[in-house]
Amino acid sequence: MEITNKKIMITGANRGIGHAFAEACAKEKAHLILAIRKADDKLIKDLKKLGASSVEIIECDLISREGVEALAKKMNQREIDLLFNNAGQLTGGLIETQPLDDIYKMFQVNVNALVHLTQSVLPQMIKRKSGKIINHASVSAVMHFPCASTYAASKAAVWAFTDCIEQELKGTGVSTLCLFTPGIKTRMFDQIDELYSKNIDVVNDSISPQEYAQKILNAVKKDWTYLEPKGATGIAFQMAQHFKGIFNWGVGQKFKR
Ligand SMILES: NC(=O)c1ccc[n+]([C@@H]2O[C@H](COP(=O)([O-])OP(=O)(O)OC[C@H]3O[C@@H](n4cnc5c(N)ncnc54)[C@H](OP(=O)(O)O)[C@@H]3O)[C@@H](O)[C@H]2O)c1
């Protein structure tokens, strides 16, 4: 899918990967609709300066079903060409130590909101026989580490959901892209250390959000179904799928209770 002049809606576009992707789309002269928690005039100005054809902010909080419903209603008053379900939260630590409130909130944002917004936008896309949904999973959907239990479960759910609808959508003109994102240097990446490092040696390998946004853009333009990691993480990603015993043994060496 080409991006120029398309209406692109991104959740969590005020920082991190969502923000970098908004910048990349602005340079392609897209119309941007940013679903973020707090209005930000400077963000609008900066993206217009980069070349965006238009920039609109819809204030929303995905933490409740009502918040997502309100966003879905506003979204459906616009003809969205591409929805990027990017907003996400991180949980971590030994399962008995993870606050239940945080787990509930994380599943609401990472899974429920993503499913709700996808379901909501699809009828308009199917009617127009065109559109794309990008769902933000993670390498954690496949690479299962101790301390990542609930977050990994949320991202595995994103993968399964996206995989199922990709098949349902064949022949409709609407497509999906599932991101198996590796370490990207964002606020969330810094939280990994905080939440996991007491019990597991955290790998500090990461690339910038800007570099990753270019990879997402390339995957969109080439209509890929998945964006998988390359390099050392790519090898570990394949090991986790095809040689699970060896992968789990290796991970076990880095873990202590
Ligand atoms: N960074 C990585 O290494 C990595 C790896 C794999 C997957 N991912 C995925 O990438 C996506 C983006 O994360 P990031 O790395 O860019 O992290 P980030 O910088 O922490 O950004 C997270 C974004 O989600 C938004 N968000 C969180 N809770 C929300 C809520 N209740 N309502 C609306 N927006 C909410 C945040 O808004 P506020 O600023 O208002 O909090 C922020 O814009 C996530 O889905 C994450 O799971 C990241």
pLDDT by 10s per residue, the chain, length 257: 999 999 999 999 999 999 999 999 999 999 999 999 999 999 999 999 999 999 999 999 999 999 999 999 999 999 999 999 999 999 999 999 999 999 999 999 999 999 999 999 999 999 999 999 999 999 999 999 999 999 999 999 999 999 999 999 999 999 999 999 999 999 999 999 999 999 999 878 999 999 999 999 999 999 999 999 999 999 999 999 999 999 999 999 999 99
Q: What are phi and psi of 24, to 5 degrees?
A: -65, -40
Q: Is the pTM of this model over 0.85?
A: yes
Beta strands in the chain (DSSP E): 7-11, 31-36, 54-59, 82-85, 131-136, 174-179, 226-227
Cα 113 to ligand 1 centre (Å):
13
What fold, for 7-252? Rossmann fold (3.40.50)
Residue 71 CA, distance from chain mean position:
17
Question: Is 198 close to ligand 1, i.e. is its CB under 6 Å away?
Answer: no
Residue 241's nearest CA partner among 136, 138, 144, 135 is 144
Whether 90 and 192 have beta carbons less than 8 Å apart is answered as yes
How far apart CA 82 and CA 85 sit, in angstroms, is 10
The residues, any chain, with a CB within 8 Å of residue 213's CB and separated by 6 or more, are 17, 20, 21, 23, 24
Question: Is 27 close to ligand 1, i.e. is its CB under 6 Å away?
Answer: no
DSSP string, 3-40: -TT-EEEEES-SSHHHHHHHHHHHHTT-EEEEEESS--
* Joined tokens for residue 75: 């979204």
Cα 16 to ligand 1 centre (Å):
7
Question: Is 143 close to ligand 1, i.e. is its CB under 6 Å away?
Answer: no
- Ligand 1 atom, smallest distance to 20 CA: 16
Cα 166 to ligand 1 centre (Å):
23
